[in-house]
Amino acid sequence: MEARVGQLWDRLITRAARRDFPEAAVALGDVATGLAIFYRGLGGDIGHRLEPACPTLDDGRRGWPERLAASGRRVELGYPDDQALRLPGTIAWFSGRSLNRDLYYWLAALFAQPGDPGQEWLVDAQGRSQAVLDRLPGMRDRYRRLSLAHIALRPDPDSLHGDEAFNERAVRAALTRPGSVLSLRSTRRPPATVPLWPHPSPPVSTPDSATGMPETPAADSRPGNPAGETRRRAAERVDMPDGKGGLITVRMENIFSWSEYLKVDRSCEEDEDTGEARRTADDMQVMSVARDGRSPRTRVRFDLDLPSAEHDDHVLEGESLLPEWDYRHQRMRPDHCRLQRLLAAAADPCPLPTHLNRTARRLRAQLELLAPARQFRRGETDGQEVDLEAYLRFAGDRLVGGARGDAGLYRSLRTGQRDLACLLLADLSLSTDAWINNDARVIDVIRDSLFLFAESLAGTGDRFALYGFSSKKREHVRFHHLKGFAEPYGGAVRGRIQAIKPGYYTRMGAAIRHACSVLSATGAGSQLLILLTDGKPNDLDQYEGRYGIEDTRAAIIEARREGIRPFCVTIDEKASDYLPHLFGAGGFTVIRRPAELPGRLPGVYAQLTR
């Protein structure tokens, strides 16, 4: 009975203390696509992703209901960092959904303006706001509605005292007339949160490359996690407790918060049904993370150990050292990556899988229409038949005494050939081991795509090559040889395609640079590089996030400078978030249904070379 009464009281006081409007909430995922286009169209950093912000502590004054309910202590505000533009995961500041949605677009426009890191927070926020209003007159009405609605929710200055009242009036004036306030007075508590402005002191996120942990945690799929929740959490690294501090030496009433870290060995339990661990994590301001060497019940296993030398593929032509672009320092790192060309050790020649025979015949017949028409080659000294026009001309010249003895009087019917070379580079990273349905994995779809692509191009007469790649840090980029340009397509090539398997990670920039060097060596007048992938660039070290994307983009720009046309074919549903930055608006295509990839890839080639 006491527990029931406590739950009812908690629910009542929590509802009374709420300052937001959950019934009018708008999630970042609901507006992310249009918001990203809007942000980049206004000049925002094209390398930024849109991701949820990390909740931070709000030190502003709270009313007695909030203090009683212990709520309102954390807030999500927008801020940019090196990797992404962090916006609130959900906005429910206002009672109308349209205003909450408008706030997302206002923040996107605000962060698209260049800021001044040397300016104080108040001056910088007003400067950005004024820049938006001057540059985009259409945003003025939207800003006026947002500022008036927010001012109506702010504390009444008459209810405050001294410098706090002065600061509140100054913030209201800055919201009404951006640029009119130069500073605030020093007070014990800062002014109430301003969701229309950037975060006054955004958290700093630094990836831990030594441990290989991602800088942005993936969504948790266990019970109790809201669908699609990708909330960021502030964390710190600490040493694991030594297990000798289990004795309680303080009174229990002195322990006030979950967020205080003590080096005390506590048992680790998982409750997959109630989600108690998740609720505890939500109550923590900063999560302290340590390695205890123990395995939880729910985990994802990856076998990342490289195979021993006797079980690995054969190494071809030694190793190659390749540069890598460091966007943070805006410089190229020479000889930064080590690439090995590999040939499958166990790849016996084989025929085309029977389930692909019918599709292969249809696609080959379609692509054979791209082959140049057969033409007579005239003026030859020997050939299949006499060239009547050349013979009549020769006979006339002989009658007047001007005939030449070396005149070519024959012609031969030969098939034309396009001055074209295409290299297909397939992503063979660990993610291709995922299942797309009950019957096939991503690697199976890629294997079938390579089979049908090779079968189709074999009928066109165009020169083509097939390679795959994966990586484990910069010292081990694996470049798998499937078919070279000078190699005929046959059972040996099909055996190598049949032998492909998921590898490690996706250091895309190094693979693209080496593929471009292979293409350039052909000397073809038209050179096409097709990248087949299922995700974005990543690796265990600092290649995760924007670093890998910017290096890949630099490699693509280098390819275009060399006269190579790069094009990406992907099955990643989120590819539209980063591929326009890498390949441009017309430089990629997304296959929404991965199972359709094998049948559609030859058609993509036909469109690119028609």
Instruction: Output the furthest CA–CA distance in the chain (Å, rounded).
Output: 125
Evaluate whether 397 touches 404 at the Cβ level (below 8 Å): yes
Give me the percent of the chain exceeding a pLDDT of 70.
Answer: 74
Confidence of residue 374 (pLDDT cuts 50, 70, 90): low
Report the pLDDT value the prediction gives residue 16, as an integer from 0 to 100.
62
Report the pLDDT value the prediction gives residue 316, as an integer from 0 to 100.
78
Is the per-residue pLDDT at 139 higher than 70? Answer: yes
CA distance 8 to 580: 51
Q: Of 31-40, 48-57, 175-184, 228-237, give the lowest mean pLDDT range.
A: 228-237
List b or e across 461-497, with b for residues whose CB sees 16 or more CB atoms inside 10 angstroms: ebbbbbbbbbbbbbebbbbbbbbbeeeeeeeebbbbb
Each residue's pLDDT tens digit, 101-118: 999 999 999 999 887 777
- Structure tokens, 463: 């020169």
Evaluate whether 106 touches 88 at the Cβ level (below 8 Å): no
C-alpha to C-alpha distances, 438 to 157, 164, 331, 441, 593, nearest whole angstrom: 63, 63, 46, 8, 14
Better-scored residue on pLDDT, 245 or 533: 533
Give CB contacts under 8 A, 24+ apart, made by 525-528.
525/419, 525/420, 526/418, 526/419, 526/420, 526/421, 526/565, 526/609, 527/420, 527/421, 527/422, 527/423, 527/563, 527/564, 527/565, 528/420, 528/421, 528/422, 528/423, 528/564, 528/565, 528/567, 528/608, 528/609
Confidence of residue 276 (pLDDT cuts 50, 70, 90): low
Report the pLDDT value the prediction gives residue 209, as an integer from 0 to 100.
39
Is the per-residue pLDDT at 281 higher than 80? Answer: no
Report the pLDDT value the prediction gives residue 292, as an integer from 0 to 100.
56
Each residue's pLDDT tens digit, 534-571: 989 999 888 988 899 999 999 999 999 999 999 999 99
Mean pLDDT in residue range 358-368 = 87
Confidence of residue 187 (pLDDT cuts 50, 70, 90): confident
Q: Of 91-105, 106-120, 373-387, give the lowest mean pLDDT range.
A: 373-387
Q: Of 61-70, 140-149, 159-168, 418-427, give the lowest mean pLDDT range.
A: 61-70
The full length of the chain comes to: 610
Q: Is 570 helix (H, G, I), strand (E, B) or coil?
A: strand
Pairing status of strand 420-427 against strand 477-483: unpaired
Confidence of residue 380 (pLDDT cuts 50, 70, 90): confident
Report the pLDDT value the prediction gives residue 405, as an integer from 0 to 100.
63
Mean pLDDT in residue range 343-367 = 90
Report the pLDDT value the prediction gives residue 416, as an integer from 0 to 100.
57
Each residue's pLDDT tens digit, 285-296: 566 666 555 545
Better-scored residue on pLDDT, 393 or 443: 443
CA distance 445 to 431: 13
Report the pLDDT value the prediction gives residue 284, as an integer from 0 to 100.
60
CA distance 233 to 52: 10
| DSSP result, 350-412 | -PPPGGGHHHHHHHHHHHGGGSPPEEEEEEESS-SEE-HHHHHHHHHHHHTT---TT---EEE
Give me the percent of the chain exceeding a pLDDT of 90.
Answer: 43
Confidence of residue 213 (pLDDT cuts 50, 70, 90): very low
CA distance 91 to 22: 9
Is the per-residue pLDDT at 225 higher than 50? Answer: no
Confidence of residue 278 (pLDDT cuts 50, 70, 90): low
Is the per-residue pLDDT at 370 higher than 80? Answer: no
Report the pLDDT value the prediction gives residue 282, as an integer from 0 to 100.
59
Is the per-residue pLDDT at 609 higher than 80? Answer: yes
Report the pLDDT value the prediction gives residue 10, as an integer from 0 to 100.
66
CA distance 401 to 513: 61
Specify burial of residue 126 (Cβ count, 10 A radius: 0-12, 13-18, 19+): buried
Report the pLDDT value the prediction gives residue 235, as an integer from 0 to 100.
59
List b or e across 333-371, with b for residues whose CB sees 16 or more CB atoms inside 10 angstroms: eeebbbbbbbebeebeeeebeeebeebbeebbeebeebe
Report the pLDDT value the prediction gives residue 169, as an integer from 0 to 100.
93
Report the pLDDT value the prediction gives residue 461, as an integer from 0 to 100.
79
Report the pLDDT value the prediction gives residue 120, as an integer from 0 to 100.
87
Report the pLDDT value the prediction gives residue 64, as an integer from 0 to 100.
60
Report the pLDDT value the prediction gives residue 306, as an integer from 0 to 100.
47
Report the pLDDT value the prediction gives residue 365, as an integer from 0 to 100.
87
User: Which of these, 495, 579, 599, lies nearest to 531 by C-alpha position?
Assistant: 579
Is the per-residue pLDDT at 412 higher than 80? Answer: no
Report the pLDDT value the prediction gives residue 227, as an integer from 0 to 100.
40
Is the per-residue pLDDT at 418 higher than 80? Answer: no
Is the per-residue pLDDT at 83 higher than 70? Answer: yes
Confidence of residue 215 (pLDDT cuts 50, 70, 90): very low
Mean pLDDT in residue range 438-466 = 91
Confidence of residue 217 (pLDDT cuts 50, 70, 90): very low
Better-scored residue on pLDDT, 513 or 4: 513
Better-scored residue on pLDDT, 175 or 385: 175
Cα torsion through 185, 189, 192, 198, rounded to 10: 70
Mean pLDDT in residue range 565-580 = 90
Is the per-residue pLDDT at 353 higher than 80? Answer: yes
CA distance 493 to 499: 10
Report the pLDDT value the prediction gives residue 300, as an integer from 0 to 100.
42
Confidence of residue 529 (pLDDT cuts 50, 70, 90): very high
- Domains of the chain (ranges, CATH numbers): 2-176 (no CATH), 208-301 (no CATH), 312-368+418-609 (3.40.50.410), 373-415 (no CATH)
Main-chain dihedrals φ then ψ at residue 507, nearest 5 degrees: -85, 85
Average pLDDT across the chain, whole number: 80
Confidence of residue 208 (pLDDT cuts 50, 70, 90): very low
Confidence of residue 469 (pLDDT cuts 50, 70, 90): very high
CA distance 563 to 135: 38
